Amino acid sequence: MTPVFIDTHCHFDFPPFVHHEQESLTLAAQSGVERIIVPAVTSEMFDGIIQLTRQFSAIYGALGLHPLYIDSHREQGLQQLEQLLGQHDGKIVAVGEIGLDDYMETPQSERQLWLLSEQLKLAKRFDLPVILHSRRTHDKLAGILKQHTLPRTGVVHGFSGSLSQAQAFIRLGYSIGVGGVITYERAQKTRKVIAKLPLTSLVLETDAPDMPLSGFQGEPNRPERVKLVFEQLCQLRSESVSEIAQQLYTNSIALFRCG
């Protein structure tokens, strides 16, 4: 059986995909990518993502305000998010990309925390999972998630923390996003962590056009390369290829209800 994949994190509203959507979806489908979830980063992107979900059956969206763009987020962006989540049609499957980032030069941590908390409240209110960004903030983020009990939880995307940090998220009911980091031989810590986590807690992602895989440095990442992430994951795991493929697919459908 040919594996079928869901890329649970792809910024398909960015170049090189803009104006090449159908061509890019065809390439992805040829690699077994059946669905793609596109998270927003600013309120200016919301309408474009909604249009993508309406135009292409394979595309699902997530709406949220990304911490890296903290300087550009305004109160009306949060109000717009609330309004759109209230009228979403089933193709908007998550609140995201949201989270925390302490890697920036001026992280504005208090504002980040407030913005995250407000968006977690919206996720709870509208019964949606969250797609979480976390850089140098895993412990802080886990503490906040404990305070906000979400019925649908979510995924910590692009995870590269420790085993204990991953287990803390999993205990809270969150999934771990597995991406191109594991294709790098030097990423031994992350590879060992992903090898040890429960398969039921993992989902695949590319973060395209970001996070290029090993061998593709300097090129925009692409959703069809989720297959290469999967192949690397199979080398790290003890389960059969078919079991891994089926469980990852099941995990993604259950989390995002994008079936």
Per the annotation, binding residues for a divalent metal cation are 9, 11, 97, 133, 157, 207
Cα distances (Å, whole numbers) of residue 21 to 18, 42, 60, 122? 6, 20, 13, 30
* Short-list 188, 198, 124, CA closest to 166: 198
Q: Give CA–CA dist 120/235, Å, rounded.
A: 35
Q: Give CA–CA dist 85/126, Å, rounded.
A: 7
Per the annotation, binding residues are 9, 11, 97, 133, 157, 207
Would you state the structure tokens that stand for residue 62, as one six-digit string? Answer: 């997530």
59-63 β-sheet, strand order: 5-7, 33-39, 59-63, 92-101, 130-135, 154-156, 175-178, 202-204
